[in-house]
Amino acid sequence: MDHFEYRNGSLFCEQVAVSDIVAEVGTPAYIYSSATLLHHYNAIAEAFAELNPTICYSIKSLANVNILKLLAKAGSSFDVTSGGELARATIAGGDASKIVFAGVGKTDRELVDALDAGIGVFNIESEAEFENLSRLAAQRGAKPHAALRLNPDVYDPKTHTYTATGKKETKFGVDIERAVRFFEEYGSGPNVMLDGIHIHIGSPIYSAWPYVEAIGKTLSMIDRLKEKGFEINTLDIGGGFAADYETGASPLADDYAKAIVPLLKDTALAVIIEPGRQISCNAGILATEVQYVKTGGEKNFVIVDAAMTDLFRPALYGSEHFVYPAAIDATAQPPERRAGFAAPGGTKVDVVGGVCEGSDFLAKDRVLPPIARGDLMVVFSAGAYGFVMSSQYNSRPRSVEVLVDGAEYRIIRRRETYEDTYAAELDV
């Protein structure tokens, strides 16, 4: 669900025509809908209300401070994975005592910053990390809460191998067989209160069942730990709720909640969830202008001014985003936004960027209506892992970000300049 729709052949974000925004800010442009972000946040909050969970929006999916402020105002806390994200959460006014911090490679500086900020829970991914946190906490006279990130050895076969994190053979968390030993070793430690369990089985997870399996294994583990005298107060079930890319068929917050809430509602555990993309994915589009149309052998190419540097997901995961012109014949509105949708009378094209890499494509083999130089194209469902994964490769300045709210919009990150691409290089 989102607030992007064609009206008389012209794409609108809430009450604003995308072409009007682009006329002011240029292309490529990431454009986000406040109403869509809040809709998805609220849908998750309502679906899981019976558990009274702490919702820690996963900053990594879409990290603009203005977006974080919007979500903090709606009641969200934050899941951070680096010192940089912690800094953003802090600037956005996030309640530090509700921040959770995961990541396999937390540096001393990041741990110290998080200790000083007084964050809620350190999600610990290895024995060595726990020992390091204990050492730093002792030095600073702090006594933080920590959760052990368990690796429940569960996965969703539809999740890309690069983003499946719940299988044993990944760098994430600690094998479930080692959990008891971990608590025996560290559970009564004087410097860190190890009183929680964290899981994050992958991203995206396309049905509730991997969660059911993982939570089942985790609850059994918590029982075993309790029998051994360890007190577990908090269960963080991570993120990974899916969002619509190719179709509208992804599960809704309610579908996950219906399966998950019954498992947890009668436990005394404080529940944390870390959704990212289900809030941010459908809330953003990437608008881009057609530079050239050309053929190569049998192939037709639409070359646009966005590239893999702006949206890396197609090159990295082969992910399929719906791509379509922003202005179309009013009678030819796509009845559905599905990557495989073939525009009647259309031509099969690859939509590619101008970067010097064969992997620089935004969409392949799409049957699109006639496209010409100067047309505005839109990549849908680009809010999550879009701008945040952009780079300056080929010395391309990063895109502008715009936030729409009803009939208003504002630039929330200015377009980078050429100077920005070399500003950190000394002696320029």
Distance CA 25, CA 43 (A): 31
68 phi/psi in degrees, rounded to 5: -65, -40
- Terminal alpha carbon distance of the chain: 47
Q: Which amino acid is at 225?
A: L
- Of 45, 119, 50, give the one whose Cα is nearest residue 75: 45
- Residues 323 and 362: beta-carbon distance below 8 Å: yes
Residue 204 or 284: the one with the smaller Cβ distance to ligand LLP is: 204
Instruction: For residue 281, indicate whether it is catalytic.
Output: no
Q: What are all long-range contacts of 67-70, with beta carbons under 8 Å and residues at least 24 apart? A: 67/32, 67/37, 67/280, 67/403, 67/412, 68/92, 68/94, 69/93, 70/34, 70/37, 70/38, 70/403
Q: Phi and psi dihedrals of 31, rounded to 5? A: -125, 125
Closest-CA residue to 158 (of 237, 240, 103): 240
- The residues that touch ligand LLP, with contacts defined as CB under 6 A, are 58, 60-61, 79, 102, 163, 200, 203-204, 238-241, 274-278, 313, 384-385
CB nearer to ligand LLP: pick between 210 and 325 = 210
The nearest distance, CB 163 to ligand LLP, in angstroms, is 4
* Least distance CB 285 / ligand LLP (angstroms): 16
Least distance to ligand LLP, CB of residue 204, Å: 5
CB of 372 to ligand LLP, least distance (A): 31
Return the number of the residue (99 or 102) whose C-beta is nearest ligand LLP: 102
Give yes or no for a contact between 128 and 106, defined as CB atoms under 8 angstroms apart: no
User: Would you say 204 or 325 has its CB closer to ligand LLP?
Assistant: 204
Give the up-direction half-sphere exposure of residue 68: CA atoms within 13 A in the CB hemisphere. Answer: 25
Q: Which residue, 189 or 204, has its beta carbon nearer to ligand LLP?
A: 204
Residue nearest to ligand LLP (CB): 276
Q: In whole angstroms, give the CA distance from residue 313 to residue 321.
A: 9
Token pair of 237 as six digits = 């079930």
Alpha carbon distance 371, 376 (integer Å): 9
Cβ pair 306, 362 in contact under 8 A: yes
The residues, any chain, with a CB within 8 Å of residue 63's CB and separated by 6 or more, are 85, 88, 388
* CB of residue 341 to ligand LLP, shortest distance in Å: 22
- Shortest Cβ 315–ligand LLP spacing (Å): 11
Q: Name which of 11 and 362 has its Cβ closer to ligand LLP.
A: 362
Q: Which is nearer to ligand LLP, 8 or 161 (CB)?
A: 161
Q: Which two tokens stand for residue 140?
A: 């600073």
Tokens at 225, concatenated: 């730990």
Q: How far apart are CA 46 and CA 40, in angstroms?
A: 10
User: Residue 294 Cβ, how far from ligand LLP at the closest point, in Å?
Assistant: 29
Catalytic residue among 13, 56, 281, 356: 356
Residues acting as catalytic residues: 356
